[in-house]
Amino acid sequence: MHASPDTIAAIATAPGEGSVAIVRVSGPESLAIADAAFKASGPPPSARPSPALVHGHAVAADGLILDEALLLIMRSPKSFTREDVVEFQCHGGAVSAARILQRLIECGCRPAGPGEFTRRAFLNGRMDLTQAEAVLDLVRAHSDRAAAVAMEQLRGALRRRTDEIYDDALRIAVSLESSLDFPEDDLPGFSLDTLKASLQKDVERCRTLAGSCREGRLLRDGIRVVIAGRPNVGKSSLFNLLLGRDRTIVSPHAGTTRDTVEEWISIDGYGVRLVDTAGIRPSTCPIEQEGVRRAIDQLSSAGLILSVVDA
Ligand SMILES: Nc1nc2c(ncn2[C@@H]2O[C@H](COP(=O)(O)OP(=O)(O)OP(=O)(O)O)[C@@H](O)[C@H]2O)c(=O)[nH]1
Ligand SMILES: [Mg+2]
């Protein structure tokens, strides 16, 4: 197993006013740090079996209670990173998790960098690169379908397909090399035609895989749909209709929308980044000119332009 030199900690839940927040710790000192920062009746975390869920309190150095918490203990190698991991499940909101994280840093943790837990999981052989990438895709998924594809990849679907091609190519290379090394030997099962057919099959498999890349990217990143046109043609009305709520101002005055407005929607399982823009026309008003410049800017990054015209 890859030896990680230090113990890292981070708030694992998104910021905001959720009811629960999780602070995750991973590394060789996890349990010792939990002993210092968590108190409960019964044995300290380092003397508990694993996995275990313990009710108690996160505490400061002077024993002051920081928050009521559940401590989840997962010893190496049976954890996400394959290191010793503890997770503090505390109250959500802006303060509790931040105070616990601060306390853990006082106790010797280093704040984790982005994706560092997943990086350790990869380095410790818990997952391969395709799966590590899938974790990020799953976290960032904007639609059910994108999440389902990421989950499939996380379970090794992409790796199995690339492994099949790799193993086959390796078999072909071995056959070829042995036929070169032992030309006069009658190697069983060797024929150039069979090898050619296998190679052809692998080329097809690579093509299919490469062909699915565009759809995969669309699913993962979504498509940017920019609604553009002259002023007062109904762009914002269409934007609100597709979004299902009154997000942008609609009015009979030409030049209502100035800034670009963006929102995610899901169409048939695909994530769509919908962009409303200012109506494009010459103007002497510097604010409107800026809006028009931004609208034109949006056109170059659009996956699809919905050009709206007055009927
Ligand atoms: N008759 C009719 N009026 C519409 C339709 N769609 C929008 N409108 C009206 O047209 C006016 C302009 O609509 P907006 O959606 O604000 O148009 P816009 O293209 O966003 O305008 P700017 O932001 O100024 O560029 C509003 O009064 C809407 O109620 C439509 O399909 N039919
Ligand atoms: Mg508008």
C-alpha distances in Å from residue 195, one per residue of 95, 187, 189, 269: 64, 13, 10, 41
Residue labelled with tokens 């995750």? 24
What's the CA gap between 279 and 296, in Å, rounded?
A: 10
Cα 231 to ligand 1 centroid, rounded to whole Å: 9
- Nearest CA, atom 12, ligand 1: 232
Cα 278 to ligand 2 centroid, rounded to whole Å: 6
DSSP assignment letter at 311: -
Nearest ligand atom owner, CA of 231: 1
- Nearest CA, atom 1, ligand 1: 234
Domain boundary among 126, 157, 186: 126
CB of residue 251 inside a 6 A radius of ligand 1: yes
What is the best residue among 241, 243, 250, 310 to mutate for testing ligand 1's pocket, by most ligand atoms within 8 Å of CB? 250
pLDDT for the residue numbered 83: 96
pLDDT for the residue numbered 174: 87
| Atom of ligand 1 lying closest to residue 238 CA | 15
Number of other CB atoms surrounding residue 269 within 10 Å: 13
Q: For each of the chain's 311 residues, which pLDDT tens digit applies?
A: 445 579 999 999 887 778 899 999 999 999 999 999 999 999 999 999 999 999 999 999 999 999 999 999 999 999 999 999 999 999 988 799 999 999 999 999 999 998 899 999 999 998 888 888 888 888 878 777 788 888 888 888 888 888 899 998 998 888 888 878 776 666 666 678 888 888 899 999 999 888 888 778 777 778 999 999 999 999 999 999 999 999 999 999 999 999 999 999 988 878 899 999 999 999 999 999 999 999 999 999 999 999 999 98
Q: Which residue in 123, 137, 132, 129 sits closest to 8, CA to CA?
A: 123
Q: To 5 degrees, how large is the angle CA 34–CA 43–CA 21? A: 40
- Asked whether residue 214 falls in the same domain as residue 286, the answer is no
pLDDT for the residue numbered 149: 83
| 3 lies in some domain | no
Domain boundary among 163, 194, 219: 219
- Asked whether residue 236 falls in the same domain as residue 288, the answer is yes
Domain boundary among 219, 244, 272: 219
Phi, psi of 149 (to 5 degrees): -65, -40
- Asked whether residue 152 falls in the same domain as residue 186, the answer is yes
| 172 lies in some domain | yes
CB of residue 232 inside a 6 A radius of ligand 1: yes
CB of residue 272 inside a 6 A radius of ligand 1: no
Range of the domain at 66: 8-126
- Asked whether residue 214 falls in the same domain as residue 231, the answer is no
- Considering its fold, how many domains does the chain have in total? 3
What's the CA gap between 43 and 56, in Å, rounded?
A: 11
pLDDT for the residue numbered 142: 78
Q: Which residue in 9, 61, 52 sits closest to 30, CA to CA?
A: 9
| 78 lies in some domain | yes
Residue labelled with tokens 């670009």? 260
- Asked whether residue 27 falls in the same domain as residue 91, the answer is yes
Phi, psi of 144 (to 5 degrees): -60, -40
Question: Are the CB atoms for 198 and 213 separated by under 8 Å?
Answer: no
What's the CA gap between 166 and 158, in Å, rounded?
A: 12
What's the CA gap between 260 and 81, in Å, rounded?
A: 41
Helix axes 192-221, 157-181, angle to 10 degrees: 160
- Asked whether residue 16 falls in the same domain as residue 95, the answer is yes
Cα 237 to ligand 1 centroid, rounded to whole Å: 6
pLDDT for the residue numbered 278: 97
pLDDT for the residue numbered 157: 86
